[in-house]
A and B are shown apart, each in its own frame.
Chain A
């Protein structure tokens, strides 16, 4: 066990440069897959305070692996901490993304399938149905026993055009323990600050930054589709491809109606290890 841990840690710190060209999105998925054989370790976090509730900090640790050039698999561990309450592990998720069309088109679809086993979730990785600020005021002690085993399906559509990326997600989620199908959406647009790469090594040149806008929200459920009693968020977003294989992302987001949390602050760090399994085998010898 100790040997395995040492090997994995040495891989993380000794991985050669595989600079991720990540989109600066927190909720929206683009159609771009993880490169085959690469493992990306990501920590995405959100901070906010619902009206009448306590300040919370939701966090997700993600392990994203490129199984094939057209298939990416990702495992998530979720947790949250709420001021004056507790810090808890809230569950796990496992998702797979498959790209059915093997060439680049004007609009590129990706099929997303996820299984979630979560309770008292405050990571806000998606907003569906009638999710709103009031849900986030339930004390952890009351929310935790209410475990949701959910199936989430997404249709991801993506377009790259003249350096711009346009991504749209249509979300369908069903609690397998009961309840109707819930719906949601997310969209985002982004662009690197410079399209051509500099001929000299640099850490802060413009092509290392991407900026854009992201918006997401609920669309009701099978019993009442629409915008009634749904929450929505919008905000600018930016990331920086830092030296040492890391990408740092930040986005302040604003609730656009009274049903939403007024402000959310999202930030993330991701780190890519190229050809993870090959390196693991070599290190293990």
Chain B
């Protein structure tokens, strides 16, 4: 299932069209707009994955060796930010979340590893061969089991 961005802004537009607005309504709308912006940014990368990448199949899906290899790569490169147990750290998100484990496809996770989310601090891991990125994906998706 593809995650669509939240439809924020239509309420704000209609409210702004009225000539007299109470201070309370303006503050409430600004807070709502700020919440929408925050909510859209958190996990917004999922909405940017092209359909072709979203649908890509993991060649290592379910392979035990790939889970073990992926864990080694994860500990070398990813654990410093996401934690050795993948529960996240102070500033970086957990990878056992519903978004990573259920909402995202393996193709989505692979796309994120290739491209990163550089504005949010996630680097591109395209320096690793594609095979290793799929191995990490296999490991990450094994964490919910």
Give residues in A with beta carbon < 8 Å to B: 16-19, 21, 23, 30, 32-33, 35-36, 38, 66, 68-70, 99, 102-104, 160, 162-163, 165, 192, 195-201, 207, 274-275
Contacts and interface: CB of A to CB of B under 8 A. Distances in A.
Contacts of B65: 199
A198 B122 contact: no
Q: Which bucket holds chain B's interface residue count?
A: 20 to 34
Contacts of B77: 18-19, 21, 35
Nearest to B116: A69
Given A18-B80, A197-B72, A199-B69, A102 B118 contact: yes
Nearest to A19: B76
A102 B123 contact: no
Contacts of A70: 118
Nearest to B66: A199
Contact of A200 (B66, B68, B128, B130): B68
A104 B68 CA distance: 27
Contact of B123 (A23, A69, A199): A69
Dominant secondary structure of chain A at its interface with chain B: loop
B44 interface: no
A19 B130 CA distance: 17
A104 B131 contact: no
A274 B126 contact: no
Nearest to A192: B129
Interface of B: 65-66, 68-70, 72-73, 75-77, 80-81, 114-119, 121-124, 126-132, 135
Given A197-B69, A200-B68, A32 B127 contact: yes
B130 A162 contact: yes
Given A36-B123, A69-B123, A196 B132 contact: yes
Contacts of B119: 69, 102
Contacts of A197: 69-70, 72-73, 131-132, 135
B76 A103 contact: no
A36 B114 contact: no
A32 B126 contact: yes
Nearest to A201: B72
Contact of B129 (A17, A23, A36, A195): A195
A274 B65 CA distance: 27
A199 B130 contact: no
A99 B80 contact: no
B18 to A, nearest CB: 39
Given A18-B77, A104-B115, A201-B72, A196 B129 contact: yes
B121 A104 contact: no
A102 B116 CA distance: 8
